Amino acid sequence: MVRNDDFYLRKWVEYYGRELGGKENLYIYFDGLDQEIAPFCEGTHAERVPKIGTQVVSAEKGRLAFLSMRAFELMKSGYDLVIGVDADEFLVVDPALGKSLAEYLGSLKIKGSASGLGLDFGQKLGEEADITEDRPFLRQRHYAQIGTRYTKPSVLAAPLRWGSGFHRIKGHNFHIQKDLYLLHFGYFDMKRLQDRFSDKDRLAQGWGKHMKKRSRTIRLVTERKARDFARWTRLARICQTIVRPPYAWNKPAMFGAKIIVRIPERFQDIV
């Protein structure tokens, strides 16, 4: 579900249309009847729906209840798996496997849900320029924080219910898959982040404080030394599988560790 997010949605349609065997497998809901469906959505199942909520917390609960119900309906119509992600999130298989996302997920035995390891991308100020739309994101951004916040149960194999932001499955555990990553690009460019601060629509919904908090990723990526990708993603999977925050047993944790990794070059043309 999107609102005023064509920058990411264009890339989203291109990526998932390719990885999932065609745009006809994509379902996009525009939050608000005032939204325009972009021409690049042609071939997808795109529709406008009445705006859900006016404040962040209430809107998120309503949004995920709506999307969980749509996922259930898609399963009843014949789909084995349903992926739920935001427009700035890309579920990616390690290119070393040589498999598309559909091929990879089809090879798994998923009982309830499946998660990729979360990678929250930032901008290394002084080294990486402003993002441009005409080149792959991963040719312009090379550093990410291994983020528990983005290790999400994105893939459903049963009619379960997502919590706000797709961050958990209500009443169920999560299962991190080897060689699967959830790449988050929502806060990977300082200029775009500053522009979003001036978006009156988002500010009216209470997003200003949230976006300021998320700019920390850029600071961490800029200031901290990047660690070895293979070693630390392996350790993070183990840690996040075992450790839980005291307030939510069905979310991952890493003892508050803030680990920055440099993404291998084999990923650079995926997104």
The reported pLDDT for the residue numbered 212 is: 64
Low-confidence ranges of the chain (pLDDT < 70): 53-58, 197-214
Which two three-digit tokens encode residue 214? 């998320």
Q: 18: exposed, middle or buried (C-beta count within 10 Å: 0-12, 13-18, 19+)?
A: middle
**Residue whose pair of structure tokens reads 């999400």 in the numeric block:** 152
Which two three-digit tokens encode residue 245? 């925050």
Which two three-digit tokens encode residue 63? 């949004």
Residue 139 falls in which region: left (phi positive, over 0), alpha (psi -120 to 50) or beta: alpha
The reported pLDDT for the residue numbered 167 is: 87
The reported pLDDT for the residue numbered 227 is: 97
Length of the chain: 271
The reported pLDDT for the residue numbered 20 is: 96
The pTM assigned to this predicted structure is: 0.91
The reported pLDDT for the residue numbered 208 is: 57
The reported pLDDT for the residue numbered 21 is: 93
Q: Hey, where are the domains in the chain?
A: 80-267
Residues ≥6 apart with Cβ < 8 Å to 85 = 91, 152, 154, 166, 182
Strand partners for 172: 169
